Structure 1
Amino acid sequence: MAALLGFSNQGSATHLMGGNLAYEYVMQVNDSTFRYKIIFKTYTNCGVNSNIPFPEASVTLGIYRDTVTANLPLQTLMTINLTDTTLIEPALPNSCTVGSGVCIIEGIYIDEIDLPKNYFGYHLYYNRCCRNGDILNLDNPGGRGMVFHAYIPPTLVENSSPVFSDLPMPFLCIDDTSSILNTAFDPDGDQLLFAFVDPYEDGPYPPFQPNPPATISWPLPTVPWLNITYNKNFPFGPNGYAYINGATGYSEYMSPDTGKFVVAVEIKEYRNNQLIGISRRDMQLLLLDCPFNPPPSLSNISGSGQTSYTIEEGDSLCFPITFSDEFGDSLTMVVVSPIFDTSVTNPAATVTTPVVGDSVVTSDFCWNTACDQGQGLPYIFTVSVQDNGCPPKTKDVVYEISVTDFVGPTTITGVTSVCPFATGLTYSVPSHPGATYSWTITGGTQVAGGTTNSITVDWDGPGIGIVALITTSSLGCPDGPININVTINDYPA
């Protein structure tokens, strides 16, 4: 029996490497029911040492009601069938054997579910035994289950979770700083904050594939690290390195040791400074000893090299994106973002992708923005360039394009109390270069100034007059209206 249990534990432990749960708000079905699309992505080890080299045909999630208490009750179970798969293998050139036995399959599970109105939201939860027993940065990793989680805000808050734009890397090389984008795009335009977190755990085991329990405790339990030298910010120990950009999710990793290590990245969504969503990605990273091959580098020649831009809405922006490889390897560039998708961004930016080059690769980014595309958060797109060295190395870069709103004058200066039929009174605003000014007068007549920033008004008889202004930028984008009320006094008795 002990031998049989040991085999079962190994069979449960050597295939699932990570994943993430996500959801999309679909519609309000009726006054008390809301529909969501649930998307679960898993990453399965399909290498030669995997006991289960293909994603499971179906998975069962638990959906729990948030009750603002420590124990969250099960609302319903949801079984989702496997919808699609993607094979992830290193693109090794001929005669290169580094990582030749490594492969990952992304499994995608998608289905819709109707949930009753809830003023506290729901927690999506999937648990699975077990983590691989040879993970180096956890205590007793083979006895630790994996938990995938996402939080849906109260149903009256229409929200969809962020979407990760990249696939996991099959492996990284020791003593080499490697990047993983972890970049996610939010369909609602919410502010996203990224952070390393302690991975969740489940157990004890057996059973090795339990159904979600009747209740879960909140906050969820997290894994114990191997010792005090390992933690969420130092997943490779004190001699390793890990960095994450809190605004974009771009991360870097360096380990001096070969082996398997676990990291987790959490995304918190904020809308109007209120936390409305939580999701995370759990990843197992494989570190190998590799021959030296520096990754491609971003060139600063002919206008390339800058990664952050600011323009005003209505303006145009074009710049080259150029990478080179010091070893002369062939390069492949891939650019990803919703700003190139006309169904999401209109007008959309343009770029040629993918692009292949011999030691140098270039693509041109262009965007003719419209007057309604200014926003408080930058638009983001990612560029990944891979060489064909041994092993192939990738350079990831995140670009940020800030499109600011046109802000015209905010206050009109002029007399606000006048005699009846007063003439020749001046009303003005500070001048904006290239702007035009459209004035509207109620209770009087504009007699001079045209579309300049300073006009002359003749007022009518007693009552309330109004001077209103819409300012249009040199790029054709309007702001306003603003106005000033003018009291047209009666004649003295």
Structure 2
Amino acid sequence: MKKFLVFISLIFIFSDVFPAHITGGEMIYQYLGPGSTANTKSYRITLKLFRDETGGGAAMPGVVRIGIFNNDNNGHISLSPFDISLTSVSQVGVTPPPICMSNPPTLLYTMGTYVFVIDLPNNANGYTATYQTCCRINSLENVLTQGPPAQGEGSTYLCRIPGSSQLPAGNNSSPQFRTVLSPVCYRGNFTFDFGAVDPDGDSLVYSFCNAFNRGASVNASNVTPTAPPYQSVTYINGYSGSNPLGSGAILNTQTGMISGIAPQNAGNYVVCVCINEYRNGVLIGQHRKDFILPVDDCAIPTSTLNPVYTSCDGFTVNFQNLAPPDNIQSYYWEFGDGNTSTLAAPIHTYAVAGDYVLKLVVNRGLACTDSATAIVKVYPGFFPDFTFAGQCQNIPVQFNDISTANYGIINKWKWNFGDVASPNNTSTLQNPTHIYNTTGTYNISFVVESDKGCIDTV
């Protein structure tokens, strides 16, 4: 009985600790030259696993199991899978946080590498090398996690080696992502480098993509990988593979730099970036890196504005910084008409209609300063309205736009006749007609827009 209890305890300990430390991975391949036998090529395959040293849990795996699949038939090659021992462990570089960051996070990550060399016969569709594990850290803000063991989503890290169909001539080594970390504060401006270097000088195009889930096994180690294709993890809370950090974050498709406004909640976010690799304008492969990005409860002085402010009902506009007030000691507003303010949330009245450039500088003249600009469009005197004639069933009802604008012209209309059963329930004409086939009361919605940016609904 004692032996049985000890065995069960070890299972739960292992299941709890393994998902808590691996925070991402990348697998690369390097062409080394012709293989040792005819019609083969030699490759060095490297799996990189990233570990959060502050999160506790098990050490970097001493051995990983990597499967290699022949894409011509989707089967394991001879002797696959391969058990590969840990080759080296190195510390991941970290960009120091700004001196004015409040509550700076401790970023302490290591990268374990698992390296082996293999000769692969030439074929048409190439090969896929795959490593899989049951779990991801718990919890995640954008991907399903329900606690161990393996009740949430797992991980698949892979590389695809092109065959003659993708690369009729020449040879190729995969791109390699850079491995530098930067602190990211929730709700704040940030940059995070997902750029890569290509040893062959090929053109690289970056995109967000779905992270892959585990295969058939729910074990944490010694998993024999399943053959491709692989399924996406389950995204939650409105996030997706193409939108892993919310609408405020963008990926530069040419550099791999992620920037913008961080998510509104602190936590861990799965981010997967894919690289399409082009040679002479022809796609020859795709590479990927899957990493769990920590977004921390920290802050730096940030100036954030809406891109455009539009006032169509008066000359007075309210402004405020959209970023958190942490460590902001002063505000300096320029309203674009020669007037300024040092209030945190000023109310400004413009003298004449027009377009203005708004600028906000926080901590002006201090060590930690930031600025943002926006366009202010002031065009009061915009009055949407309409009339209609006719209230009989099966007879056209005439709708007429009688909206007025003191500035610019009204150039867009969108009607919703409230007749959900009708295939012609909407119109973008200025003065449309609509036939109601059923008696009743209908709620009409009318959206009007001008060339000055004014928009309103009646």
| TM-score under structure 1 length normalisation | 0.53
Q: Which moved more, 1:279-288 or 1:133-142?
A: 133-142
1:46 aligns with 2:53: yes
Structure 2 residue ranges without an equivalent (≥5): 304-326, 329-366, 371-458
The aligned counterpart of 1:235 is: 244
> Is residue 233–residue 242 contact of structure 1 (8 Å, CA) maintained in 2?
no
Alignment of 1:286-301 (within 5 A): 286-293=294-301
Equivalent residue of 2:181, what SS?
Answer: coil
Q: 1:176 aligns with which of 181, 188, 193?
A: 188
Alignment of 1:81-480 (within 5 A): 81-88=86-93, 91=96, 98-99=103-104, 101-140=106-145, 142=147, 143-154=152-163, 157-169=170-182, 171-203=183-215, 206-213=218-225, 215-218=226-229, 220-227=230-237, 229-237=238-246, 240-253=247-260, 254-293=262-301
Distance, in Å, in 2 between the alignment partners of 1:291 and 1:251 is 18
Alignment of 1:16-35 (within 5 A): 16-29=22-35, 30-35=37-42
Equivalent residue of 1:257, what SS?
Answer: coil
Alpha-carbon offset, residue 194 of structure 1: 0.8
1:418-477 per-residue CA deviation (whole Å, 9 max, x = no partner) reads: xxxxxxxxxxxxxxxxxxxxxxxxxxxxxxxxxxxxxxxxxxxxxxxxxxxxxxxxxxxx
Q: Which moved more, 1:84-93 or 1:25-34?
A: 84-93
Alpha-carbon offset, residue 95 of structure 1: 11
Distance, in Å, in 1 between the alignment partners of 2:9 and 2:217 is 15
1:281-330 per-residue CA deviation (whole Å, 9 max, x = no partner) reads: 101111112133459xxxxxxxxxxxxxxxxxxxxxxxxxxxxxx99xxx
1:382-403 per-residue CA deviation (whole Å, 9 max, x = no partner) reads: xxxxxxx99xx9xxxxxxxxxx
> Is residue 20–residue 137 contact of structure 2 (8 Å, CA) maintained in 1?
yes
> Is residue 101–residue 299 contact of structure 2 (8 Å, CA) maintained in 1?
no
Q: Residue type of the partner of 1:57?
A: G
Alpha-carbon offset, residue 137 of structure 1: 0.9
1:77 aligns with 2:81: yes
Distance, in Å, in 1 between the alignment partners of 2:254 and 2:98 is 35
Alpha-carbon offset, residue 117 of structure 1: 2.0
> Is residue 186–residue 299 contact of structure 2 (8 Å, CA) maintained in 1?
no
Structure richer in strand, relative to its length:
1
The aligned counterpart of 1:13 is: 19
Q: Which moved more, 1:257-266 or 1:78-87?
A: 78-87
Equivalent residue of 1:226, what SS?
Answer: coil
Q: How many residues align?
A: 290
> Is residue 131–residue 146 contact of structure 1 (8 Å, CA) maintained in 2?
yes
Alpha-carbon offset, residue 259 of structure 1: 0.8
Q: Residue type of the partner of 1:217?
A: P
Structure 1 residue ranges without an equivalent (≥5): 296-325, 328-388, 394-493
Alpha-carbon offset, residue 62 of structure 1: 1.1
> Is residue 18–residue 282 contact of structure 1 (8 Å, CA) maintained in 2?
yes
Alpha-carbon offset, residue 92 of structure 1: 6.4
Distance, in Å, in 2 between the alignment partners of 1:140 and 1:289 is 21
> Is residue 232–residue 263 contact of structure 1 (8 Å, CA) maintained in 2?
yes
> Is residue 102–residue 299 contact of structure 2 (8 Å, CA) maintained in 1?
no
1:118-155 per-residue CA deviation (whole Å, 9 max, x = no partner) reads: 22101111112210121111123642211111110116
Equivalent residue of 1:252, what SS?
Answer: strand
What is the Cα-based RMSD across aligned positions, in Å?
A: 3.0
Alpha-carbon offset, residue 267 of structure 1: 0.8
Distance, in Å, in 1 between the alignment partners of 2:98 and 2:191 is 21
Q: Residue type of the partner of 1:51?
A: G
1:257-284 per-residue CA deviation (whole Å, 9 max, x = no partner) reads: 1111111000111223332222101011
The aligned counterpart of 2:361 is: none
Equivalent residue of 2:81, what SS?
Answer: strand
State the identity as a percent.
27
Distance, in Å, in 1 between the alignment partners of 2:181 and 2:95 is 11
> Is residue 25–residue 35 contact of structure 1 (8 Å, CA) maintained in 2?
yes
Distance, in Å, in 2 between the alignment partners of 1:194 and 1:89 is 22
> Is residue 58–residue 82 contact of structure 1 (8 Å, CA) maintained in 2?
no
Distance, in Å, in 2 between the alignment partners of 1:270 and 1:90 is 30
Distance, in Å, in 1 between the alignment partners of 2:187 and 2:27 is 32
1:249–1:6 Cα change, 3 Å: same
1:88–1:201 Cα change, 3 Å: same
1:333-390 per-residue CA deviation (whole Å, 9 max, x = no partner) reads: xxxxxxxxxxxxxxxxxxxxxxxxxxxxxxxxxxxxxxxxxxxxxxxxxxxxxxxx99
> Is residue 67–residue 76 contact of structure 2 (8 Å, CA) maintained in 1?
no
Q: Residue type of the partner of 1:122?
A: Y
Distance, in Å, in 1 between the alignment partners of 2:100 and 2:301 is 15
1:117–1:225 Cα change, 3 Å: same
Q: Residue type of the partner of 1:158?
A: N
Alpha-carbon offset, residue 35 of structure 1: 0.5
